Amino acid sequence: MVYVGDHLQDVINEVVAFYVDRDGEQTFEFYIDRYTEFLSDLLFNVPAVNGIYARRDARWDIYAYVFDLYNDAYGDDDIPKRLRRATHASDVPYILEPTIDILDWKLHDKHKNIKEFFEESFAEFAIEGHPLNHQALWLEISADRTLRYMQIAKEFETKMGFFNGLKQRQIHHTPYQFSVAS
């Protein structure tokens, strides 16, 4: 679908303002970071949140996590430090290792607790219907629009506001009447 309404240029301007017209030195890294943020929101974050709301509204038991751990073992030294962070599917080696070997990826001792966290949580979810583990309390997402989630980084922490970063960057405007062409 493509928006073709009377306010197309306004929509484009708001998207640019949302992702580009913010504080920060506008260097190569700045633009790569904003482009990555835009694509992540468009392809992963917004659909993930919409999927969570839909499943919750259908009364599914649902739990969410955000994997925020960057592991130098699967990084690239050519990537500027400012841009090094967890990427889509960077949790896969912790979940499936040693079943797969991504780029000669090795599990560091300091990250073995993350692998154990996933194993225990997923096994308990399959058996008991909720992801219990001995490392952190993993709560359901909650009934309101501020969703609870488990942040997996160097530590495990239950937080509120699953992808609230999207809300914090929202642009307030008068809603447009959208005409959509397929």
Model confidence pTM above 0.75 = no
Q: Which of 51-65, 113-127, 159-173 comes out lowest in average pLDDT?
A: 159-173
pLDDT digits (tens, 9 = 90+) for 123-160: 999 998 888 888 888 888 887 777 888 888 877 777 77
Residue 83, Cα to own-chain centre: how many angstroms? 15
CATH number at residue 63: 3.40.50.1820
Task: Answer whether residue 13 shows pLDDT above 60.
Answer: yes
Cα separation, 65 vs 1, in Å, equals 29
Question: Per-residue confidence at 172, pLDDT binned at 50, 70, 90?
Answer: very low
Query: What's the pLDDT at 58?
Result: 92
Contacts of 139 (CB under 8 A, 6+ apart): 63, 148, 158
pLDDT at 49: 85
How far is it, in rounded angstroms, from Cα 62 to Cα 140? 6
Q: Residue 133: which domain range?
A: 2-181
Burial grade of 4 (CB within 10 A; 0-12, 13-18, 19 or more): exposed
pLDDT category at 12 given cuts 50, 70, 90 is: confident
Number of domains in the chain: 1
**pLDDT (tens digit, 9 = 90+) per residue, 73-124?**
666 788 888 788 888 888 887 887 655 555 555 666 667 788 888 889 999 9
